[in-house]
């Protein structure tokens, strides 16, 4: 799994949900964080769409398959120290 493939997976997911009339809208997919351990890797990705969604992509190198989890921000709480 490489960075371009990870971004392409998220873009395809988002485009499918936006529908054909909305897919002409331009947006960016960006990597927030990634970690690679042996043949496995995990990505946290986002877009610049104003939908509060973020994406966790996990690649299982043993099975050569990826899993996409989709989340939305529920709340942002300030914690004072």
Could you read off the pLDDT of 25-73 as tens digits, one per residue? 689 999 999 999 999 999 999 999 998 899 999 999 999 999 999 999 8
Tokens of 60: 């299982």
**Residue 21 counted as domain residue:** yes
User: What's the confidence (pLDDT) of residue 20?
Assistant: 64
**Residue 78 counted as domain residue:** no
**Does the predicted TM-score (pTM) go above 0.75?**
yes
Residue 24, pLDDT above cutoff 90:
no
pLDDT band at 19 (very low <50, low <70, confident <90, very high): confident
**Residue 79 counted as domain residue:** no
**Residue 59 counted as domain residue:** yes
Q: Which domain holds residue 45?
A: 3-72
Q: Could you give the strand order of the β-sheet that contains 65-72, starting from the edge strand earlier in sequence? A: 29-37, 40-47, 53-60, 65-72
**Residue 9 counted as domain residue:** yes
Domain count, the chain: 1
**Residue 80 counted as domain residue:** no
């Amino acid at each position: 799994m490489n960075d371009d493939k990870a971004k392409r997976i998220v873009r395809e997911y988002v485009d499918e949900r936006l529908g054909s009339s909305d897919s002409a809208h331009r947006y960016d997919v960006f990597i927030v964080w990634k970690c690679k351990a042996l043949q496995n890797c995990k990505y946290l990705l986002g877009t610049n769409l104003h939908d509060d969604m973020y994406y966790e992509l996990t690649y299982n190198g043993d099975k050569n398959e990826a899993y996409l989890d989709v989340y939305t921000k529920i709340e942002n709480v300030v914690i004072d120290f």
